[in-house]
Structure 1
């Protein structure tokens, strides 16, 4: 990531001036320029003539040739809460050239949350997939504050969250011609190996078969790239709770025998967005030394079409010994999650289980492009995740788990259907998953984040492409 540092006085570089509802926010004159009064008047006049200059993320550019600073960006912070500062940071970095150093002048008594939001926005808005086509931004950004030491912890938190999101975005953006299950597993093991106290294991097909991971083997059975299960563990001695994270890791999804249309298949490299988020959050928890035990399970498979692919009507035996009748091979994500959830409950003794998955298109129909669906019977857990999502800018909305819908899961030849045709797509996917939680069903949450895992265009702190949704939210939750 490009460097961001805290300073007490701005250098000779493009200034970024925050704008609130009352105009440009007050700053220490020593942090600006010799002609501070003239500059302040110019920025105030620029804002007076602009339309809603205080709107979070609005940018007004003021060229000042042959003067210092030679350019000013007036950036709206809205209500000047953390989200407003995040939007301002993203807008500022997009308005600047890649090689253009910036100095963002904060109000004299800015809260630490302002620095956290601003830095997150700068890093997230400045992200681009390092595919060799576009050079990454490299120019430094200075955050000008009266007392830099006061904001060091806020900047560190922003850096950890942004680094996690960058990793999740990189993993999700990687083409599936590169990103098969073995590649993903090797990447996670390499990342874990660089962090003391973090352990990682990749289960290969022979072990998956011996242990009874029937859902994972069925979904991955049609591909030349066999499935994997990655188990990642952060277990500090001062841990006060044990959180299990599970992320759907379908590295490409054709739909299998129930094949997708071409348009629906085009972006299926993103179908492991949940896996990317839980891995990135776990690595960040280790980087920060958080006092919480985190066990992360990533079932990885490629859902392909071949003579060995599983079929509609097949009966699959899962890790917990129960069976599912496959009704649609394009409902593959829940089958691999079912094995991982059953393993988590039987072997890991979790206090809490949280799964993230790009699971259903119904999520987007119900909640749009920026909001995930949250399912849980645990009010406290649901509230904590919702609060973490609000703080991080990764929104979610709680959805029902109606007991009377359970009858729709009934199959004549197995314990349950994998994808019932009644009851609503996202709801029934969650109802199916809860069957594998056993005595942890009241300490479980499921996040269907298919829609917010991808952005069709830059939007606030989101860059076009993979958003890394969930990495920052989970890190906030684990840090609480």
Structure 2
């Protein structure tokens, strides 16, 4: 599907994507070479369309040799080209090539990229090209697919010997994209096809493919009850689908004594469908509730990458409290009290605030039995986070400022929009119940994302902890842009993989 080859410029193929920086538009030697091949038609097209090579500007010309299409893609100023902007440009260019009905797309290594380290450059090209060519076609009929055009091949050419770092980065980028696509596919699947058991089966399949690098354990309902997971089981009790408490463990293959090897736990909210329970959602709010397991999908996407490439020096755990939140005669009622694994009692005033209940038992389990150095929970938790930040940005909370800062820097490199929100402790008083230790919603008159994070914090005692509320970016209802594809898009996969790969690995 994608290959890296040594070729002299301009090569040949179906569609050539040529990136050009704003300051090089008038004196770029290779652009002049392309213009000569088109007998001046390319420069005329640039002039006609007022093309200035600004960021994400495109102009194309058709029916030329040695390519059927030449696409000029503006990068803006070279100094503004980052790993994130490059992978988005590559993804958009691949997508544009499909609209031209090209069978293949060709890129060349260019001077505009030289300030990006070769491994990171290759990674960005791999992620961008793969996500630009991503489609969820599983449920489309033959006639529909006949009308859809798909690229069959993507070529990346370089005029000199291929550096090993570039090749390794490209392969790793493609692998990260496969993890993002695994998560995307799970989120895009309808709830009629994805239940807790399917998540458990995929976790088992990932472990089986890992050559013993990953182990899996599925805790069934009876064992969860024995452990005291009353909050998680309370959410699950209205569904005919049995809950599955899924545990994955990745063991690193190398044990370098210089490494500050950590135990890192990833907790993913995994509500495979959320009707709201007896606090029933209105129909419009229920339409996309197959996406309420996006956190768990992200964790599975990351473990898919770990199964293929044991890139992390750290011990990594995945915890997925998988269940449905449904309506039946057995459903949890508003006003019920449940007891979490750590012994805290919770008055459930709104059954649609169910994710925090499942996460309460998941993070309690992690603290008691896994004892991680670092814990990250990722969840489609609150509409309030979308009110605060919109649909493009995830909210981040945590109990360690330096860790929050580190993760935000990583997210910026990976092009994932995240913003720190305050874990404002005075609001914790709104979670106090008159008849139990806590209540699952706060009557604070606002700040719902904050009080939800504070609720989860009640179950974190010692661990360095990060909470990522992905309610906004978990499912994109707008057309694809860059590596953020329409529908499920693998939010969080790239940033967390970066953390697992590069998190302070050596002793000072």
**TM value normalised by structure 1:** 0.93
Q: For 1:165 and 1:7, locate their aligned partners in 2 and report how far apart those are by CA, in whole Å.
A: 29
SS of equivalent to 1:394:
coil
Secondary structure at 1:460's aligned position in 2? coil
Matches for 1:263-412 after TM superposition, within 5 Å: 263-289=284-310, 290-412=312-434
- Aligned partners of 2:432 and 2:34: how far apart in 1? 75
TM-superposed deviation, 1:68: 1.5
Q: Secondary structure of the residue that 2:462 maps to in structure 1? A: helix
1:424 counterpart (420, 440, 447):
447
Q: Give the SS at the match of 2:351.
A: coil
CA distance in 1, matches of 2:368, 2:29: 59
Deviations 1:190-246 (A, max 9, x none): 122111211111111111111111111110100011211110000115361111000
Q: Residue 310 and residue 338 in structure 1: after superposition, are their counterparts in 2 closer, same or farther (change >3 A)?
A: same
Distance 2:475 2:295 in 1: 12
Please tell me the root mean square deviation across aligned C-alpha atoms, in Å: 2.2
Deviations 1:129-188 (A, max 9, x none): 131424784511111123323411220221121111000000111110010111111112
SS at match of 1:452: coil
Distance 1:7 1:256 in 2: 58
- 2:254 corresponds, among 235, 238, 249, to 238
Cα offset, 1:36, TM superposition = 6.8
1:200 aligns with 2:216: yes
Q: Which of residues 491, 496, 506 is equivalent to 1:469?
A: 491
Q: Which residue of 2 aligns with 1:120?
A: 127
SS in 2 for 1:263: helix
Judged with a 3 Å threshold, the aligned counterparts in structure 2 of structure 1 residues 13 and 345 are, in CA distance, closer, same or farther, namely same
1:149 equivalent in structure 2: 163
Match of 1:438 in 2: 461
Structure 1's 251 and 437: CA in aligned 2 closer, same or farther, altered over 3 A? same
What CA distance in whole angstroms lies between the structure 2 residues aligned with 1:312 and 1:5?
58
2:17 maps to what in 1? Answer: 16
Gaps of 5+ in 1: none
Give, in angstroms, the shift of residue 464 of structure 1: 1.3
Take 1:234 and 1:367, find their aligned partners in 2: how far apart are those partners?
34
Aligned residue in 1 for 2:70: 72
Pick the aligned partner of 1:106 from 91, 96, 109. 109
- Change in Cα spacing, 1:263 to 1:393, as seen in structure 2 (3 Å) is same
1:176 aligned to 2:198?
Answer: no
2:67 is paired with a residue whose SS is coil
Classify the secondary structure of the residue corresponding to 1:451.
Answer: coil
**Alignment partners' CA distance in 2, 1:53 and 1:177:** 49
Which one is further off, 140-149 or 301-310?
140-149
Instruction: Using the TM superposition, name which of 32-41 and 171-180 deviates more.
Output: 32-41
Summarize the Cα distance change of 1:299–1:28 in structure 2 as closer, same or farther, 3 Å threshold: farther
* Residue 43 of structure 1: how far off its partner (Å): 4.0
**Partner residue in 1 for 2:506:** none
Choose from 456, 477, 483 the match for 1:456: 477
Aligned counterpart for 1:188 among listed residues 197, 203, 211: 203
Which one is further off, 17-26 or 252-261? 17-26
How has the CA–CA distance of structure 1 residues 26 and 174 changed in structure 2, closer, same or farther, with 3 Å as cutoff? farther
TM-score, length of structure 2 as denominator length? 0.88
Distance 1:247 1:167 in 2: 14
Cα 1:271–1:35 shift into 2, 3 Å:
closer
Does residue 140 (structure 1) correspond to residue 153 (structure 2)? The answer is yes
Rounded to whole Å, the distance in 1 between the matches of 2:59 and 2:332 is 56
Deviation at 1:282, TM superposition (A): 2.5
Which of 55-64 and 205-214 deviates more? Answer: 55-64
Q: Quick one: structure 1 residues 327 and 55, their matched pair in 2 at CA, closer, same or farther if it must change by over 3 Å?
A: farther
| CA distance 1:242–1:52, shift in 2 (3 Å) | farther
Partners of 1:351 and 1:368 lie apart in 2 by: 32
How far apart, in 2, do the equivalents of 1:287 and 1:40 lie?
Answer: 48
Question: CA 1:263–1:394 in 2, change beyond 3 Å: closer, same or farther?
Answer: same
8 A Cα contact 2:51 2:59, kept in partner: no
CA contact under 8 A between 1:57 and 1:90: conserved in structure 2?
Answer: no
Structure 2: gaps spanning 5 or more residues: 256-260, 503-508
- 1:131 counterpart = 2:145: no
1:3·1:139 contact (CA, 8 Å) conserved in 2?
Answer: no
For these two proteins, the number of residue pairs brought into alignment is 474
Paired with 1:139 and 1:217, the residues of 2 have a C-alpha distance of 46
Give the C-alpha shift of residue 475 in structure 1: 0.7
> Which region of structure 1 is more displaced relative to structure 2, 262-271 or 205-214?
205-214
Q: Report the CA distance shift for 1:56/1:100 in structure 2 as closer, same or farther (over 3 A).
A: farther
SS of structure 2 residue aligned to 1:229: strand
CA contact (8 A) 2:209 2:307 kept: no
Q: What SS is found at the alignment partner of 1:373?
A: strand
